[in-house]
Amino acid sequence: MKNQIIKKIMAYLLVGAMVITTPMTASAAGLADAYDTGTGSDEDKSSNTDTNTDTNTNTGGIKPGEIPPVVEEFNVNIFGIALDKETLDFDLGDEEQSDTLQARVLFDGYDPKDEDMQWAVSAEEKARIEENIHWYSSNPSVAEVQLIDEKDKTKVKVIAKGDGKAEITAWIEADKLVYSNDPNRPTEGDYQATAVVSVMEHATGVFFDYGKTPFVAKRQYDLNDYTYLSFKNPTDRKPIKDCQESVTFSNMEIRSKTTKATLKDGILKITKSKEGDIITFDMVTEDGLKSEGTITIAKENPVTKLSFTNNKMAIDMGKDEVVNGVVSKESNPFLRLNRMLPR
């Protein structure tokens, strides 16, 4: 008898602690960490009352339904939502790559008499609420979501589509708000859990293009900033920093005795240069794809003088002031300096 009383007291204390400390939203790891949707302002949101959002924008093929009144219909409260995986990693080849995600809705109303710690909710209530689970892909060009069974909204198939990262979110409407430009995207007050998807697609081409950037002495350059990969479409190039596959830079060669430079971990440091000199180097992807990059040293055009065209030094607190100045050099561009004092 004494042991049963102690068990009941401990169970009630556990439930009380979970109700107090658990946030409305939950990460894929569970309910310990609050999930923050991060982007989007209140101006992008509008009331979703009596609105049927029948759109397929950025959903990977799953359409959202109306705001489910079922959550308010039953005498239960949603405790949170969780996913069975935190991350999904794909190595995209010729064949389709996919995996599954399973969502679980957690309810409060825990029954301390149940030593297996099952949530006190009927099968009908559970099924009705699970019907209102929505799925959202932050980047359908990287990963799409598809229902495996139209009658089961708790489980989806995640399909790798292209190189990059995406977040797959399972969510249930809670705050009756919607992003006007993306109605299927959950807002901050909804119950939600997210898994991060990483897709590596092996490049078919690697290119170096520094455009009009002048490479001169006493400067250092990150070659990754000027490196691009192409995939299935050779004319569609992505910056290497937006890709999952990395590139190694090596075997630098300077076709001159005048220019001096070093290359380490993708950082090119030019200590001495002469206009017209050529620097070459190898670029190799993780998959072994190799190409050569070429840089032509530009004419040095250093700044010789900086002068201001107005000498106003009194600036109102918290206001923007534009201070105009002229950079003296051969190309003589006009420089605008924006100065703002802290509020």
Burial of 227 per CB tally in 10 Å (0-12, 13-18, 19+): buried
The reply to whether 213 and 100 lie within a common domain is no
Where does a domain end: 201, 224, 251?
A: 201
Where does a domain end: 173, 201, 229?
A: 201
Q: In the prediction, which pLDDT does 137 show?
A: 97
CATH of the domain at 168: 2.60.40.1080
The reply to whether 227 and 322 lie within a common domain is no
Q: What residue numbers bound the domain in which 247 lies? A: 205-296
The reply to whether 287 and 311 lie within a common domain is no
Give the C-alpha separation, 88 to 119, whole Å.
Answer: 28
Q: In the prediction, which pLDDT does 240 show?
A: 93
Element (H, E) at 296: strand 290-296
Question: CB of 269 within 8 A of CB of 260?
Answer: no
The reply to whether 95 and 149 lie within a common domain is yes
Element (H, E) at 138: none
The reply to whether 260 and 329 lie within a common domain is no
Q: What is the pLDDT along the chain (343 residues), one digit of tens a residue?
A: 445 544 444 444 444 444 333 333 333 333 333 233 333 344 444 444 333 333 334 443 334 444 544 455 556 677 788 999 999 999 987 778 999 999 998 876 544 455 444 455 677 878 888 888 999 999 999 999 999 999 999 999 999 999 999 999 999 888 888 887 888 899 888 899 999 999 998 899 999 999 999 999 999 999 999 999 998 887 889 999 989 899 999 999 999 989 999 999 999 999 999 999 999 999 999 989 999 999 999 998 777 777 766 666 666 666 666 666 655 554 434 444 443 444 4
The reply to whether 156 and 12 lie within a common domain is yes
The reply to whether 87 and 221 lie within a common domain is no
Task: Describe the chain by its helix, strand, coil percentages, rounded to 5.
Answer: 10, 40, 45
Where does a domain end: 201, 217, 245?
A: 201
Range 338-341, long-range pairs (CB < 8 A, 24+ positions): 339/315, 341/315, 341/317
* One-letter identity of residue 196: V
Q: In the prediction, which pLDDT does 68 show?
A: 47
The reply to whether 106 and 128 lie within a common domain is yes
Q: In the prediction, which pLDDT does 116 show?
A: 46
Give the C-alpha separation, 165 to 57, whole Å.
Answer: 18
Q: In the prediction, which pLDDT does 16 show?
A: 46
The reply to whether 51 and 197 lie within a common domain is yes
What's the domain count of the chain? 3
The reply to whether 108 and 93 lie within a common domain is yes
The reply to whether 149 and 213 lie within a common domain is no
The reply to whether 142 and 260 lie within a common domain is no
